[in-house]
Structure formats: C-alpha cells, structure tokens
C-alpha cells in the first residue's frame, strides 16, 4: 500500500509490549506502532524519520502519551476553537503545547527519551508500551500494573461473569 493511502482504521495503535531502555534513554518502538506513526505523519516519506509528539503533562500523569502528527493536529484544532483568553484554552495549551516534546523515530526504530521524561515517570531499564486508539502510552511496567490493571479489574467487577464488553458499543448515546 502506498504511503498516504492507509485509511483511518490503519491509523489506530493496537497491542502492548515491553522494551529495554538503554543508559542514553533509547528504546525501540513496537514495529506495528512505527507503521501507524509513519502513516499519520503527513511529511513522512521513505528515508525520513517519522515525527510524533510526546505529551508528558502535569505532575499527576504517571505515563507518557505519544501522539501522531495527525492526532495532535486534531487536538490543536479543538484547542484553537476555544475562545482566546479563556482559562480552558490557556490550560489546554499549557498541557498539550507546553508540556510536550516533539521528537522523531530514528532510522533504527527507536525513540530517545530525555532524562527529564524518564525521571518524571521513574523509567529505568524497561518501558511498557500500550495502545490507546490514536495514541500510545509509555509506562514504567510496575506503575502500569499497579495503576491501570487494577482499574480494569475493578471496572470488570461491576459486571456479571459472562459480561461481553462489546455490548457497550451498542448502547444509545448518553446511556
């Protein structure tokens, strides 16, 4: 398939994986994630390094959220639609523009995570990658297990043993 012809469905991150982080903060991005990053970077062509934006956010965020260029353009458009001078616009600009790090995937398929970002989420030897639709997240593996897996288990406890999550997709909006 030619670059630029992947449909919206092709631009969804899927899966999870664990990767080593070296002393310089270099970590390999899952191969399937790299294809989505490439397809969602309007400036990318073979031979170039595809770009993405890492949003690290405020002190409460315990992971790094990685946006493709197209996904961030959608966020930017929504922020820009807010009234100039409004507190919402100022805060969202701070969270998504100020507390972010533009970067690129190198020719070997790796990201270099600056020390500031690694320190923020206490990332050391391994990074846990998990898909989140049109973004993906990078976690310290132990933090992910404690924070997110317990939330999923707690949420599922509210449903019967034979619960199929697909049923939620058929509920009317606002239900």
CATH of the domain at 122: 3.40.1550.20
End-to-end CA distance of the chain: 39
What mean pLDDT comes out for the span 87-106? 96
- For residue 146, being part of any structural domain is answered with no
Burial annotation 144-164 (CB, 10 A radius, 16+ → b, else e)? beeebeeeeeeeeeeeeeeee
Identify the bridge partners of residue 111 per DSSP, sorted by sequence position.
27
Give the 3-state secondary structure percentages of the chain, helix then strand then coil, rounded to 5. Answer: 35, 25, 40
pLDDT tens column, 52-65: 999 998 888 999 99
Q: Concatenate the DSSP letters of all residues of 76-125 into one string.
A: HHHHHTSPTT-HHHHHHHIIIIITEEEEE--TTSEEE--HHHHHHTT--S
What pLDDT does 174 receive? 64
**CA dihedral defined by 41, 46, 48, 52, rounded to 10 degrees?**
20
What pLDDT does 2 receive? 35
Dist CA 133 CA 10 (whole Å): 11
- For residue 25, being part of any structural domain is answered with yes
- For residue 51, being part of any structural domain is answered with yes
- For residue 60, being part of any structural domain is answered with yes
- For residue 118, being part of any structural domain is answered with yes
Q: pTM score, two decimals? A: 0.86
- For residue 95, being part of any structural domain is answered with yes
What pLDDT does 166 receive? 85
Domain count within the chain: 1
- For residue 120, being part of any structural domain is answered with yes
Dist CA 140 CA 126 (whole Å): 7
Structural domain for 94, as ranges: 8-141
Instruction: Give the Cβ contact number of residue 46 at 10 Å.
Output: 6
Dist CA 119 CA 122 (whole Å): 5
Q: What percent of the chain has pLDDT over 90?
A: 73
- For residue 147, being part of any structural domain is answered with no
Residue with tokens 């397809």: 39
Dist CA 133 CA 11 (whole Å): 8
């Amino acid at each position: 398939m030619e670059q630029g012809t992947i449909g919206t469905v092709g631009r969804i991150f899927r899966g999870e994986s664990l990767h080593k982080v070296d002393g310089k903060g270099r970590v390999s991005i899952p191969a399937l994630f790299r294809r989505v990053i490439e397809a969602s970077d309007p400036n990318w062509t073979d031979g170039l390094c595809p770009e993405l934006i890492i949003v690290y956010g405020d002190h409460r965020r315990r992971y790094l959220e990685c946006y493709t260029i197209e996904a961030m353009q959608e966020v930017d458009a929504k922020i820009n639609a807010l009234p100039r001078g409004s507190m919402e616009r100022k805060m969202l600009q701070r969270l998504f523009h100020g507390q972010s790090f533009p970067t690129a995937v190198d020719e070997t398929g790796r990201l270099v995570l600056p020390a500031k970002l690694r320190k923020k989420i206490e990332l050391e030897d391994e990074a846990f990658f998990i898909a989140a639709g049109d973004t993906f997240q990078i976690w310290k593996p132990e933090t992910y297990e404690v924070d997110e897996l317990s939330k999923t288990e707690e949420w599922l406890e509210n449903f019967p043993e034979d619960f199929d999550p697909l049923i939620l997709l058929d509920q009317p909006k606002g239900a």
